[in-house]
Every structure is written in structure tokens, then in C-alpha cells.
Amino acid sequence: MKRPLTVPAMALCFFAFLTSEDVLAADLKQHLLAAIEAPTGKSEGELSGAMAEFFKAQTRSSASVRVQVKTIKRFPTAGCSRLEATLLQESVPTSDGGRIPFAVRYELNLCRDGRPPSEGMDLDAASQALSPKPLPQ
């Protein structure tokens, strides 16, 4: 029996889709960018396309997938925010034969150009972590 992805694994998959140039997450990305632009800092709607189909395949439910995005914090750099994204689906089957609502919630920092903001990043520490280190002798 094929084991479904865990919630953290699904969230990582969605983040990977968002950072790619693929059209798979185009609908979700539009909601994230809409929340950045909205005066209320929110965007919601029904997820469609390949991303919704991916989610449905993972949950084994044909119920519609809703997306809710809200702004948690606006960064000083214009068009950059910390967002909370929630993907919701009703009637997801359980291992005991029941059906329950299911949600995946995650947070990310995003600017309207699709990149993360530099606020809060220690770029020196990041470059040191990514630098090759000499092997012990």
C-alpha cells in the first residue's frame, strides 16, 4: 500500500514548487502575491490546475482544495511580507474508513518578485555555511 506524504513533506513540496519556474504552482503563487498586494493582506479562493490535482492525489480525495493566505508581517522593503498559507480540503479519507477535513499550514517570507526578502538574513553566516570547508587530516 502506498503511504501518503506527511504534512511536513507536503509543505516542503509546495515550497519547492513555489520557488521553481514551473507553472504547477502558478495558481497558489498568484494567491501569495495577491495577499502581498491586498490592503487587507489576505487572499483566498479555490485552488485549481496541476497543484490542486497534486494535492488531491496525495490526500486521495476528489474534494475541492481551498487556499487561504494572510499577511503576518510586512517588511520594510516594499512588496515583501511574511505570509501564512493554508491549503484546506474536506472529506479526506482516513485509514479507518472515515472522512475528515485536512489542512496544511506553513509560513514563508516572500517579495512580489518571487524572492525572499533580505531582512533578517545573516548573509555573512549563510556564505560561510555554504563555503567549502577543508577536510580534517
Number of Cβ atoms within 10 Å of the Cβ of 48: 14
Q: How far apart are CA 68 and CA 106, in angstroms?
A: 11
Q: What's the pLDDT at 109? A: 93
pLDDT score at 102: 95
Quick one: which of 40, 17, 16, 12 has its CA closest to 27? 17
Q: Give the Cβ contact number of residue 85 at 10 Å.
A: 23
The pLDDT of residue 11: 52
pLDDT for 67 equals 94
The whole-number pLDDT of residue 21 equals 44
- Reading the chain (137 residues) residue by residue, the pLDDT tens digits are 444 445 555 554 555 455 444 444 578 889 999 999 999 999 999 998 888 998 999 999 999 999 999 999 999 999 999 999 999 999 999 999 999 999 999 999 999 998 888 865 555 555 665 666 666 66
Provide the pLDDT for residue 7: 53
